Amino acid sequence: MKEDIQFYKARDVFIAAIKEWDEDFTSQQWNVYLINNREEAINTVLVLSRGKSDTRKTSTLRHSLGDVLPKTVVKIEFIATEVLGFTNEFLVTFFVGTDLYERNYTFGPGTISEEEIRPLPILEYDGILAK
C-alpha cells in the first residue's frame, strides 16, 4: 500500500536550530524550527523527531504543525543540551495540493553548537540548518 504512494522530495523547506533566551529556564536554550521558504503554503505538516547515539536513544516525538503559510517559520520543539551529542533526526511530511512531500533532516553529533551558527533564510536570527 505504501509503495503506491508517490512521495516528492521537499524543497525550500528547512529545519533550523536557533539558540534563544528562555524565560522559563532563564538561560540560553536551543529550539528547533521549521522554515517554509516556498512561495505557497504547505498543508498538514507533520514532523517526527528522534535522537540516537551509539548506546542510547531518545523518545520519538510527533508534532502536527497544521498548515504553514509561505515565507514563515514555526517552532517545533526545544532540544535539550543532553542530546546535542546525539544524531538528531527530523522527518517532515506535508502536502501541496494533492502532492505529498517528505524529507529527512539530520543534525550530526555535535553540529548544534555556537561554532556552526550561520545566517538563516527568512529569519532575522542566525542558527544552524539541518542537512
Identify the pLDDT of residue 66: 97
CB neighbours of 123 closer than 8 A, spacing ≥ 6? 16, 18, 33, 35, 73
124: confidence class by pLDDT, cuts 50, 70, 90: confident
Q: How confident is the model at residue 130, as a pLDDT?
A: 96
Q: Is the pLDDT of residue 109 over 60?
A: yes
**pLDDT (mean) for 94-98:** 95
pLDDT at 22 over 90: no
Q: Could you report the per-residue pLDDT of 36-73, keeping only the tens digit for each?
A: 999 999 999 999 999 999 999 999 999 999 999 999 99
Q: How confident is the model at residue 2 (pLDDT cuts 50, 70, 90)?
A: low
Q: How many CA atoms lie within 13 A of 48 on its CB side?
A: 7
User: Is the Cβ–Cβ distance between 122 and 39 less than 8 Å?
Assistant: no
Q: Is residue 15 pLDDT above 70, yes or no?
A: yes
- The stretch 103-110 carries a mean pLDDT of 96
**Which CATH number describes the domain made up of 2-129?**
2.60.40.10
Is the confidence at residue 125, as pLDDT, over 90? Answer: no
Please enumerate in sequence order all residues whose Cβ is within 8 A of that of 11, keeping only pairs 6 or more positions apart, or say none.
Answer: 38
DSSP state of 2: G
Q: What is the residue extent of each domain of the chain?
A: 2-129
Write out the three cell numbers for 31: 529550539
When pLDDT is cut at 50, 70 and 90, the band that residue 89 belongs to is: very high
Instruction: For residue 92, give the nearest of 61, 124, 56 by alpha carbon.
Output: 61
